[in-house]
């Protein structure tokens, strides 16, 4: 890759290395300069730029990042589209994120152009949590380095990154009691345990209370049907203090094997690990009566995710295992044992608002959205692209011939595809009325909306995903506009901060003027092909599209 200062007259086809502001226009870092860009820069007196030009053997940053992501991402992970050389990976289910650290370290040592950052191994994740990001540092990566990634992570090998989803673990809880044991404590322990298990998708299927004595507890353990539960939890009226104490002795009397006592996690030191008939048994420390995070949670999470727990696994929990509140740790330990999000980045929730209410007057007597195009009504191309993309929900605004459009959508969705149909009784007022109707029903959970036109059949799911990948309001990309050779098109992605302004529009206009008013947070997202520039308004447009 050639990286150099060059004359603007020689810069067409060069990737801009440093952002420029020219008049009211912004030329962002990473922009592939077109002939029109060169003319605009020259008109404003810019004579030199710093840029990068790819050479043979270079792979452009987005293609390189996508290739690495495809090799890394294993089960229960979703992959965002590439943007500026970055691909983010997200959890598709609640569970534990797993990393083959040795291979990931080897990958990060291959070439300085390729970097992968992840959550820690066995991190607790919720759906949509970001677990990893792949970033190509310069504007391209050497093909030889990507070939080395392929060798390090062959498709037939276990994945380097994955999420182990929580499975429906069935459990039994046996508590022991002494003469002075209060019934309220037993009830509270059951409640806390049930909540802890429920947060992991596990269930409490068997409960019992026995005397705090080896024979009674052994009978209780042996009496549990092996076909009913996958895990046995024991909570003693008195803490376990030795391998020969009541709980471990009762396990052995019932035919079980004590594998390990103690763990280097505080609170949680007095945890006991045992097995009976290939089922794990946990003797829980007293801290398990509290909902606060403790070593029990670390072990339960692994078991719920199907990750084996052995003696060596517990012995390896010491690093990071200091969970107790100490004077040098200013923040209180407030995290509970409940499975929850990592509080880190998550996949944005983006809704698609498809405008399908217009009268299509320039098409003549026919409703253009219902005309056949490549085997199905025109409007279904936009709907299907949205449904196949990474949007969170799809809203279709109806108006002109609403019943016919609804019937076409119903025939296609079969009732099991999540499309919300929203009537716009004011559709004759123009485009703004449809925008208002669509924005009005956006749920609070939505971060942004993709406003799509129902007459653009060549806009693909990949197009929508690339706009979503570009969306990063914290980095100044709150409005994402597709461009082809510098020309802006549709659809446009809008951060929710603009929903109120869109709800106040009037007349037969869209939200285009809002882009000009907020140019400082506009990201132009380069697209291949002309799909984002081509809408169907007239019979000639339709004929041209069918012939292309």
- 369-392 pLDDT tens trace: 999 999 999 999 999 999 999 999
Residue 406 in tokens: 């609804």
pLDDT higher than 70, residue 333: no
Identify the pLDDT of residue 438: 96
d(CA 195, CA 134): 36
- The CATH class for the domain spanning 58-165 reads alpha beta
Give the per-residue pLDDT at 330.
Answer: 42
Query: Is domain 170-315 annotated with CATH 3.40.980.10?
Result: yes
Residues of the chain with CATH 3.90.105.10: 2-53
Per-residue model confidence as pLDDT tens digits over 54-66: 899 999 999 999 9
> pLDDT grade, residue 521 (50/70/90)?
very high
Contacts of residue 27, Cβ cutoff 8 Å, sequence gap at least 6: 16, 19, 20, 21, 33, 37, 41
Token pair recorded at residue 167: 């499975």
Average pLDDT over residues 135-141: 95
- Residues of the chain within CATH 3.40.980.10 domain(s) are 170-315
pTM of the model: 0.87
Q: Rounded to whole angstroms, how far apart are CA atoms 273 and 425?
A: 65
- 138: pLDDT strictly greater than 60: yes
Start-end ranges of CATH 3.90.550.10 in the chain? Answer: 350-547
The mean pLDDT value of the chain amounts to 91
In the predicted model, is pLDDT for residue 473 greater than 50?
A: yes
CB atoms within 10 A of CB 367: 20
Class of domain 350-547: alpha beta
Residues 6+ apart with CB under 8 A from 105: none
547 pLDDT exceeds 80?
Answer: no
What is the pLDDT, as a whole number, of residue 507?
74
Question: What angle, rounded to 10 degrees, do the helices at 402-413 and 378-388 form?
Answer: 50
Does position 340 have pLDDT exceeding 80, yes or no?
no
Q: What is the pLDDT of residue 505?
A: 87
Tell me the pLDDT band of 360, cut-offs 50, 70 and 90. confident
**Between residues 118 and 414, the one the model is more confident about:** 118
Q: Mind listing the pLDDT tens digit for each residue in 278-326? A: 899 999 999 999 999 999 999 999 999 999 999 999 999 999 999 965 4
**Comparison of pLDDT for 450 and 362, the residue scoring more:** 450
For residues 295 and 317, give the distance between their C-alpha atoms in angstroms, rounded to a whole number.
9
Structure confidence at residue 325 (pLDDT): 57
43-47, 242-246, 479-483: segment of lowest average pLDDT: 43-47
429 phi/psi in degrees, rounded to 5: -75, -10
Q: What percent of the chain has pLDDT over 70?
A: 95
The mean per-residue pLDDT over the stretch 439-461 comes to 96
Q: Name the range with the highest mean pLDDT among 43-47, 119-123, 430-434.
A: 119-123
Could you give the residue range(s) of every CATH 3.90.1170.30 domain in the chain? 58-165
- Taking CA atoms, 187 is separated from 173, 192, 201, 206, 289, in Å, by 12, 9, 21, 14, 10
- Tell me the backbone φ, ψ of residue 149, rounded to 5 degrees: -60, -45
pLDDT for residue 100 is more than 80: yes
- Tens-digit pLDDT profile for residues 72-91: 999 999 999 999 999 999 99
Task: Using alpha carbons, list the distances in angstroms from residue 523 to 90, 386, 449, 526.
Answer: 23, 21, 15, 9
Give the per-residue pLDDT at 343: 56
pLDDT band at 235 (very low <50, low <70, confident <90, very high): very high
pLDDT score, position 36: 87
CATH superfamily of 2-53: Molybdopterin biosynthesis moea protein, domain 2 (3.90.105.10)
Summarize the chain as % helix, strand, coil (round to 5). 30, 30, 40
Q: Is the pLDDT of residue 499 over 70?
A: yes
Q: How many residues comprise the chain?
A: 548
Please give the C-alpha separations between residue 106 and each of 114, 152, 517, in angstroms, as whole numbers.
11, 8, 47
Instruction: Give the tokens for residue 233.
Output: 């939890």
């Amino acid at each position: 890759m050639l990286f150099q200062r060059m004359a603007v007259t020689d810069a067409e086809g060069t990737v801009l290395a440093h952002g420029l502001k020219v008049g009211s226009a912004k030329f962002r870092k990473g922009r592939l300069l077109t002939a029109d860009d060169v003319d605009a820069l020259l008109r404003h007196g810019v004579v030199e730029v710093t840029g990068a030009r790819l050479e043979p053997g270079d792979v452009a940053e987005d293609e390189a990042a996508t290739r690495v992501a495809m090799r890394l991402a294993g089960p229960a992970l979703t992959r965002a589209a590439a943007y500026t050389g970055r691909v983010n990976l997200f959890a598709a289910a609640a569970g534990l994120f797993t990393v083959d650290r040795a291979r990931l370290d080897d990958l990060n040592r291959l070439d300085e152009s390729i970097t992968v950052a992840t959550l820690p191994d066995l991190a607790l994740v919720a759906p949509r949590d970001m677990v990893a990001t792949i970033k190509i540092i310069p504007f391209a990566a050497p093909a030889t380095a990507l070939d080395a990634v392929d060798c390090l992570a062959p498709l037939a090998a276990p994945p380097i990154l994955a999420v182990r989803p929580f499975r429906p673990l069935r459990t039994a809880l046996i508590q022991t009691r002494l003469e002075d044991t209060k019934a309220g404590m037993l009830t509270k322990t059951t409640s806390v345990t049930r909540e802890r298990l429920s947060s992991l998708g596990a269930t409490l299927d068997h409960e019992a209370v026995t005397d705090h004595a080896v024979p009674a507890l052994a009978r209780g353990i042996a009496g549990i049907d092996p076909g009913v539960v996958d895990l046995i939890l024991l909570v003693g009226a008195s803490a376990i203090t030795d391998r020969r104490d009541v709980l471990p002795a009762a396990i052995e009397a019932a035919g079980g094997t004590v594998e390990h006592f103690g763990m280097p996690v505080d609170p949680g030191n007095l945890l006991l690990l045992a097995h009976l008939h290939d089922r794990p048994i946990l003797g829980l420390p007293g801290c398990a009566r509290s909902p606060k995070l403790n070593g029990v949670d670390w072990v339960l999470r692994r078991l719920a995710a199907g990750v084996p727990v052995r003696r060596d696994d517990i012995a390896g929990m010491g690093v990071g295992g200091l969970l107790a509140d100490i004077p040098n740790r200013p923040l209180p330990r407030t995290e509970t044992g409940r499975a929850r999000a990592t509080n880190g980045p998550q996949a944005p929730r983006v809704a698609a608002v498809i405008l399908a209410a217009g009268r299509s007057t320039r098409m003549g007597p026919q409703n253009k959205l219902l005309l056949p195009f490549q085997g199905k009504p025109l409007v279904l191309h936009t709907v299907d692209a949205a449904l196949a993309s990474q949007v969170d929900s799809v809203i279709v605004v109806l108006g002109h011939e609403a019943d016919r459009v609804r019937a076409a959508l119903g025939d296609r969705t079969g009732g099991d595809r999540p499309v919300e149909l929203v009537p716009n009784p004011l559709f004759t007022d123009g485009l703004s009325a449809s925008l208002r109707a669509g924005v009005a029903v956006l749920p609070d959970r939505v971060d942004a909306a993709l406003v799509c036109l129902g007459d653009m059949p060549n806009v693909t799911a990949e197009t929508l995903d690339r706009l979503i990948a570009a969306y990063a309001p914290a980095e100044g990309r709150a409005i994402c506009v597709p461009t082809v050779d510098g020309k802006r098109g549709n659809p446009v992605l809008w951060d929710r901060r603009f929903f109120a302004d869109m709800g106040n529009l009037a007349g037969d206009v869209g939200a285009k003027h809002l882009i000009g008013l907020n140019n400082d947070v506009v990201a132009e997202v380069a697209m291949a092909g002309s799909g984002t520039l081509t809408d169907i308004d007239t019979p000639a447009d339709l004929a041209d599209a069918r012939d292309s």
